[in-house]
Structure 1
Amino acid sequence: MSTVGTLRAKLRRRTAASRPGAAMTFTDHLRELRRRSVRAVVAMALGTAVAWLLFEPIFTWLVAPYAEVKPVLAERGIDTTLVFTGIGGAFQFQLKVSIVAGFVLSSPWWIWQVWAYVVPALHHGEKRAALTLSAVCTPLFLAGAWFGYLILPRAIEFLVGFVPQNAESLLTGADYLDFSLRIMLVFAVAAQLPVVIVMLHRLGMINGPQLVHARPWIITGIFAFAGIATPTVDPVTMALLATPMVVLYGVAEVIVRVRERRGAVTPVAAP
């Protein structure tokens, strides 16, 4: 009887998921959340295992910005060295790098799991919307992280450049990893701005005229965010983060206007 009951429960959940707008119970939502979470965690674990095996090329790629700047600093009389402190320092560094790399490698899959869980609840089972958002978020996330990686040499040169001449700077692996990840993560998150705006428009929470009216305030907020989020305090690095965000905001504004002209405006769902 328990087997029959289990089969019936699964059938009810599949039937509810297949009907647009079908209501799911709180228990069904928890089961769906658990299922999506397990899939995402398994993908991240597999990505971490792959990154652990490929640690040498990943490490070479990660420290390339530092290796690029080191001769430039040496010409200015600043000797800097990347070191690992403590008995387990190198192990902890490799483990952290592998976890982060696994997180990035599995990003297409876990991003899909997030949107596949969230979007149907908001848009009555629109799987196509989840797939579209995943297809857009993943390249934006990776492109933002890559752009942050390209900024690393300038950021390192700027900050380490404050070391007095004829002095030596010892940079631990943990500090370098945290600094690099912060730079890349800030740019990766900032790249999601158009997705957030289009999502809010899809929910009927904002419209084109509101975006136009709020444009000066949004741009001011973007530069404020760039000034706070970037580890450096130089205006060039801040501008390198803020300028793409302003461009992405303009792209999102154009997308919203095109959607409104086509009549693709989703009203706010009734509570």
Structure 2
Amino acid sequence: MSEIEQPTQPLVEHLIELRRRLMWIAAVMLLCFFGLMPFAQKLYTFVAQPLMATLPANTSMIATDVIAPFFVPVKVTLMAAFLLTLPHTLYQVWAFVAPALYQNEKRLVMPLVFSSVVLFFGGMAFAYFLVFPVVFKFLAGVTPLGVSMATDIDKYLSFVLGMFVAFGTTFEVPVVVVLLNRMGVVSVTQLKAVRPYVIVGAFVVAAVITPPDVISQVLLAVPLILLYEAGLWFCRFVKPVQLRQEAETAAD
């Protein structure tokens, strides 16, 4: 009986540890969420400000669902709690996987995690402070005469969240480039060779995930290209795994 139970014990321990980490993530996020609930209306006002600033005079946003005035601010508060506790969440993930990593991998993971968080928040800030005002002003300018630009608050939140995820994710391009080079999947020479395809791909991605106007597409495509170039520059400081192993072997 002991011979059968012994091999499964490490798996059980890992599952218990995983459950403990997930409980800590959920507890901290819920604590932050309930702490932010008194400010739910103000948080939604902050998120809605880019559109509210461009609405014509004597117009406002509307709620077509009976429970939307309550649930939409709650959704915004939940999003804010997730973002504020993201560093803690990533720390718990790091603490769970760290024992299985080598020392050189640990030295690489922490900067990548930190840069990923910064870039994701940077993408959201770029969308909020630069893209939204330009896009909403453009849309307000092309609204046909006789049409009231009264956006539903739930649909607006869905649009904003989608744009936040899109810009936050695409701003992770430097991290992806560095990881691909670090793992030896592609070399810097190969990454430079596909630069023309990356430029075309950036505009294709921007056309797919942004509203159908040229301004917002350019505002996403250009940063994508610049972030790709930034990733190539950072690759100069990260040696691929194969080259590192060859250097260590030669040193021995």
- How far residue 252 of structure 1 moved from its aligned partner, in angstroms, is 0.8
- How far residue 267 of structure 1 moved from its aligned partner, in angstroms, is 3.4
Quickly say closer, same or farther: Cα 1:253–1:31, change in 2 above 3 A: farther
Quickly say closer, same or farther: Cα 1:112–1:137, change in 2 above 3 A: farther
CA distance in 1, matches of 2:12, 2:144: 62
CA distance in 2, matches of 1:258, 1:130: 15
**Identity over aligned pairs, percent:** 31
CA distance in 2, matches of 1:256, 1:116: 26
* Alignment of structure 1 residues 51-130 onto 2, 5 Å: 51-71=36-56, 74=57, 80-117=59-96, 121=100, 123=102, 126-130=105-109
- How far residue 133 of structure 1 moved from its aligned partner, in angstroms, is 2.1
1:265 correspondence with 2:214:
no
Greater share of residues in strand: 1
CA distance in 1, matches of 2:169, 2:158: 16
TM-score by length of 2: 0.81
* Alignment of structure 1 residues 129-208 onto 2, 5 Å: 129-150=108-129, 151-208=131-188
**What is the aligned-residue RMSD (CA, Å)?**
2.6
Aligned to 1:246: 225
CA distance in 1, matches of 2:105, 2:188: 23
- How far residue 62 of structure 1 moved from its aligned partner, in angstroms, is 1.1
CA distance in 2, matches of 1:125, 1:40: 27
Kept after mapping to 2: 8 A contact 1:223/1:239: yes
Kept after mapping to 2: 8 A contact 1:223/1:238: yes
Which of residues 207, 213, 233 in structure 2 aligns to 1:234? 213
- How far residue 229 of structure 1 moved from its aligned partner, in angstroms, is 0.9
Three-state SS of the structure 1 residue aligned to 2:149 is strand
Kept after mapping to 2: 8 A contact 1:120/1:126: no
Aligned to 1:223: 203
Kept after mapping to 2: 8 A contact 1:119/1:125: no
Quickly say closer, same or farther: Cα 1:121–1:214, change in 2 above 3 A: farther
Show structure 2 runs of 5+ residues with no match. Answer: 1-5, 244-252
Deviations, residues 176-230 of structure 1 (Å, cap 9, x unaligned): 1111111222111111111122122222222211211222222221221111011
Kept after mapping to 1: 8 A contact 2:121/2:168: yes
Greater share of residues in helix: 2
- How far residue 162 of structure 1 moved from its aligned partner, in angstroms, is 4.1
How many pairs were matched up? 235
> What letter is aligned with 2:231?
A
Q: Is the deviation greater in 40-49 or in 111-120?
A: 111-120
CA distance in 1, matches of 2:98, 2:218: 34
1:43 correspondence with 2:23:
no
Aligned to 2:3: none
Quickly say closer, same or farther: Cα 1:266–1:35, change in 2 above 3 A: farther
Quickly say closer, same or farther: Cα 1:29–1:49, change in 2 above 3 A: same
Deviations, residues 1-30 of structure 1 (Å, cap 9, x unaligned): xxxxxxxx9xxxxxxxxxxxxxx9544443
Quickly say closer, same or farther: Cα 1:236–1:169, change in 2 above 3 A: closer
CA distance in 2, matches of 1:122, 1:199: 16
TM-score by length of 1: 0.76
- How far residue 175 of structure 1 moved from its aligned partner, in angstroms, is 0.8
Which of residues 26, 34, 48 in structure 1 aligns to 2:19? 34
Quickly say closer, same or farther: Cα 1:191–1:126, change in 2 above 3 A: same
Quickly say closer, same or farther: Cα 1:53–1:127, change in 2 above 3 A: farther
Show structure 1 runs of 5+ residues with no match. Answer: 1-8, 10-23
CA distance in 2, matches of 1:111, 1:247: 26
